[in-house]
Amino acid sequence: LAAATAAAEKQDEMESGLMGFGATGSGGGAGIFEPSGKAAMLMAAANQAKRKVVAPVNAQDEAFKLPFKFGWKRELVYRANLDGNSKDKGEVYYITPSGKKLRTRNDIVMALQDGLTMDNFTFIKDPVGGSPDEEIIRSAKSYGTTPRRSVNSVAPPVLESSSDNSLGKRIPKPKMPKGASPPPPASSARSSLGQSRTPPSSRSNSQTSPKSGAIVGGHRGIAGNAVGQKLNENAFGAAKAGKLKNNVDDSRKSVGSGATKQQATNQTSNRSFIAADLAAISQNNSNARTSSLAAGIEQNRMFASNFFSNVSVGYDVLQQTFQYLKVQELLRASCVCRMWNQVANHPRLWRTVRMKNSHVNDWSGLAHTLRQNGTKHLDLRKMLISGNSDEMWHRFAENISHVENLERIDLCRCSSTVVGNLMKSNPNLKVINALAIKNDPLDFSNFEYGQYLHELRLKSSAAVSVENELSQLGFLKNLRHLSLTSIQKLGSTSIKSLENLVNLESLELGECTEIGQNFAEILPYLTKLQRLRLEKGQENFNMFAVLEGIAVLPDLNQLELINCDVKVGFDKHINKCSNIKKLLLIPTYVSQSAATNHMVLSGIAKLKDSLEVFIWTVTVELLRVTELYIDQCDTKNRDDKNSPGESIPILKPVPGVDEVPVANTSNPADTPAQVEIVPLTTVNSILDRSLPKTKLKILKIPFASTWKQGMIELP
């Protein structure tokens, strides 16, 4: 405050010196320029002509409210750090009815419609008197809060006449002795406090308009004498500055005086509006808190009214989600809370346990968990095994006996002794699948304990031998499905024990090189057999005897012959198998492929009344050899676009047709007269005519994939 007083005093001294210089022309500049009274008047008129007189804009003009009727909105944003002497105290934006915010006059001109002109828009940094929905007034500090109306947001009331004649008049500054400093204001703290509570627009008006300060200072109901004294001093300084600049135009003086009085009156009268706005905001906040509290109470009441239903829904959601968790993840989830523990230990989630990509450190704990949760199916395929596998299987055999409710188990790579020990420790098992037997020879000891076993599948990656006979398989009285596809020279050992499996419904045998009449004698005992699969029926395999045994089984309706030799006479014996409804045939294409294909076509044609599904698989290797044969024998037509494509050799005459277009008619001497190359499309047409009621499919697969091929469902 002392520094401000000293600066004001210094400015007054400078103005006094300038006034003295202009009056007398004495001093250091006496010899430079001494204007006379007429010259001074001419200079003042010239300066006034240079200045462009701009009439102030009335923010409360009704023309500025016209855009609000057409859906326009106006937004006035006061700057966060506002300097009282800054003219750029905010930003004005106009929002079109479509919601686009415009910042410049050019943007508004492009969006004008409904008869609006630029005279209806103003970028003055003051409110134009629109409603809160039409004119948004906010501060940049509180962008997300509710916009608050500033002091000048409402229309100014009519200026009432006052009995105090000093209002609006310039009060002369009392003369002070030379060198004496003016006394400090008595209530500077109150003055600064009052200014800090004034909105940005009011502070700017009070600092830049001396007449506004005089009115506020002279009003008896607003401030004390100290404030009036300080504002009067500012008015006195402004009066001296006016004398220095000569007289101002009367019209500008009157308009400026009226605007100043209007702003001062707004400042004094809108204090009541500020209080009303604060009260309204407080009331709105109170109502909002009350409504939110009521909404929360209502929501809790609705949840409590359906409490058990809501808890049940959450329980079901957890059950559905936990179905996708692994075993270790279920165990971790059971440690979260009581509800998660109950859901994680639900028998529905532990009915089938898959140990894929999992490692077991404690078989005792796993067995206890499986028993506690009632596990029915344990899948150990692709389980991680670290360390000595024999020790792991030893611990497995010691603890798996405690899981008494186990019914099905899928083993990973193990020895056949694990299967026998499993039948002994868990006699209630119904399904055992061991598709990766690693020991040679196989050991069928302890198989007599599998009296309740329904399915048994034993397979190895390579053919393995049998240490003893298959006599212990005869104890599996209740066996319904048996798969032995990796026992080397199965027919050379005694397979007579298979006749005791009277409940057998599905039988899969591999390495059938020694099977023939011995197997045909067993088939009549298997009266319930419905499906038979024979693999690798080569060398000493007697297909004709097997087909005769198949013909006497009334319930056998599905036959799968995988890589079996189809010799001459096949058509005569397959004709007896009228009980076959589904046939999967993959012949052996090593030699005499043309004769094999001829036997297949002629034999299948005789089952047209009984056969429902026929799948004929041709190896890719046969197609390549046939294509190479065509290229070598028919050099002229090798590049012909009308080449037959994928073809197979068939011995003449081709069953089902009299004449078939061949691929090498140009060089008949290069091809034996009894063989014709027939495209697969033609073969398919022959089968369609021969078997009109049968669903047909010709598959083309590599030889290595034939062992995995099974019966497929045809549309």
- pLDDT higher than threshold 80 for residue 94: yes
- pLDDT higher than threshold 70 for residue 370: yes
Contact 407, 431 (CB under 8 A): yes
In whole angstroms, what is the distance from residue 677 CA to residue 160 CA? 119
Which phi and psi angles does 99 have, rounded to 5°? 95, 10
Question: What percent of the chain stands above pLDDT 70?
Answer: 65
* 632 against 272, higher pLDDT: 632
| Residue type, position 321, single letter | T
82 vs 208, 266, 271, CA distance in Å? 14, 20, 21
- Work out the mean pLDDT of the chain and round it to a whole number: 75
User: Helix, strand or coil for residue 62?
Assistant: helix
Give the helix/strand (H/E) hosting 679. Answer: strand 675-679
Q: 62-138, what's its fold?
A: Methyl-cpg-binding Protein 2; Chain A (3.30.890)
Model confidence at 283, pLDDT cuts 50, 70, 90, reads: low
In whole angstroms, what is the distance from residue 560 CA to residue 696 CA? 15
Q: Highest mean pLDDT: which of 190-204, 397-411, 637-651? A: 397-411
- 174 prior amide bond cis, ω within 30: no
What pLDDT is attached to residue 226? 37
- pLDDT higher than threshold 90 for residue 587: yes
pLDDT tens readout for residues 188-207: 434 433 444 444 444 434 34
In whole angstroms, what is the distance from residue 59 CA to residue 74 CA? 13
What pLDDT is attached to residue 204? 39
456 vs 222, 439, 707, CA distance in Å? 104, 17, 19
Contact 270, 276 (CB under 8 A): no
What pLDDT is attached to residue 73? 92
| Residue type, position 176, single letter | M
pLDDT tens readout for residues 531-541: 999 999 998 89
User: What does the block give as tokens for 267?
Assistant: 């400042």
What pLDDT is attached to residue 234? 41
CB-count burial class (<10 Å; 0-12, 13-18, 19+) for 358: middle
Model confidence at 696, pLDDT cuts 50, 70, 90, reads: very high
Task: Read off the pLDDT of each residue in 369-373 and give the average, rounded to a whole number.
Answer: 91
How open is the CA angle 135-136-140, to the nearest 5 degrees?
150
What pLDDT is attached to residue 203? 42
- Look up residue 75 and give its DSSP letter: E
Biggest CA-to-CA distance, the chain: 151
685 vs 215, 285, 455, 701, CA distance in Å? 112, 85, 41, 20
Taking each helix axis from N to C end, the angle separating 593-605 and 680-690, rounded to the nearest 10 degrees, works out to 30
Buried b (16+ CB within 10 A) or exposed e, 622-655: bbeebbebbeebbeebeeeeeebebbbbbbeebb
Query: What is the separation, in whole angstroms, between the first and last Cα of the chain?
Result: 100
pLDDT tens readout for residues 11-48: 444 444 434 444 433 333 333 344 455 555 656 555 55
User: Helix count (H) and strand count (E) of the chain?
Assistant: 21, 18
Task: Read off the pLDDT of each residue in 214-241 and give the average, rounded to a whole number.
Answer: 38
pLDDT tens readout for residues 432-477: 999 999 887 888 888 989 989 999 999 998 888 887 778 889 899 9
Number of other CB atoms surrounding residue 230 within 10 Å: 19
Sequence-distant (≥ 6) Cβ neighbours of residue 264 within 8 angstroms:
205, 209, 211, 212, 215, 216
User: Helix, strand or coil for residue 182?
Assistant: coil
User: What does the block give as tokens for 466?
Assistant: 């049998």
In whole angstroms, what is the distance from residue 308 CA to residue 94 CA? 54
Q: Highest mean pLDDT: which of 87-91, 205-209, 571-575? A: 571-575
What pLDDT is attached to residue 607? 93
- pLDDT higher than threshold 80 for residue 233: no
* 382 against 198, higher pLDDT: 382
User: What does the block give as tokens for 560?
Assistant: 């799968």
Looking at domain 407-556, its CATH architecture is Alpha-Beta Horseshoe (3.80)
Model confidence at 633, pLDDT cuts 50, 70, 90, reads: confident
In whole angstroms, what is the distance from residue 202 CA to residue 345 CA? 72
Model confidence at 552, pLDDT cuts 50, 70, 90, reads: very high
- pLDDT higher than threshold 80 for residue 555: yes
Same CATH topology for 62-138 and 407-556: the answer is no
Task: Read off the pLDDT of each residue in 498-512 and give the average, rounded to a whole number.
Answer: 93
Question: What percent of the chain stands above pLDDT 90?
Answer: 38
Task: Read off the pLDDT of each residue in 680-688 and give the average, rounded to a whole number.
Answer: 94
Comparing CA positions, the residue from 516, 558, 555 lying closest to residue 538 is: 516
Taking each helix axis from N to C end, the angle separating 271-305 and 250-269, rounded to the nearest 10 degrees, works out to 40
Model confidence at 251, pLDDT cuts 50, 70, 90, reads: very low
In whole angstroms, what is the distance from residue 556 CA to residue 714 CA? 20
In whole angstroms, what is the distance from residue 688 CA to residue 657 CA? 12
Sequence-distant (≥ 6) Cβ neighbours of residue 299 within 8 angstroms:
none
Pairing of strands 558-564, 352-354: unpaired
Model confidence at 109, pLDDT cuts 50, 70, 90, reads: confident
What pLDDT is attached to residue 593? 92
Contact 156, 126 (CB under 8 A): no
- Domain segments of the chain: what residues? 62-138, 322-377+385-402, 407-556, 567-634+644-656+672-714
In whole angstroms, what is the distance from residue 594 CA to residue 410 CA? 43
pLDDT tens readout for residues 290-349: 676 777 676 777 667 777 887 888 888 998 999 999 888 998 999 999 999 999 988 889
Lowest mean pLDDT, pick from 277-286, 335-344, 558-567: 277-286
Lowest mean pLDDT, pick from 271-275, 576-580, 622-626: 271-275
What pLDDT is attached to residue 310? 78
* 658 against 655, higher pLDDT: 655
Task: Read off the pLDDT of each residue in 637-642 and give the average, rounded to a whole number.
Answer: 50
What pLDDT is attached to residue 111? 87
pLDDT tens readout for residues 515-525: 989 999 999 99
Buried b (16+ CB within 10 A) or exposed e, 44-62: eeeeeeeeeeeeeebbbee
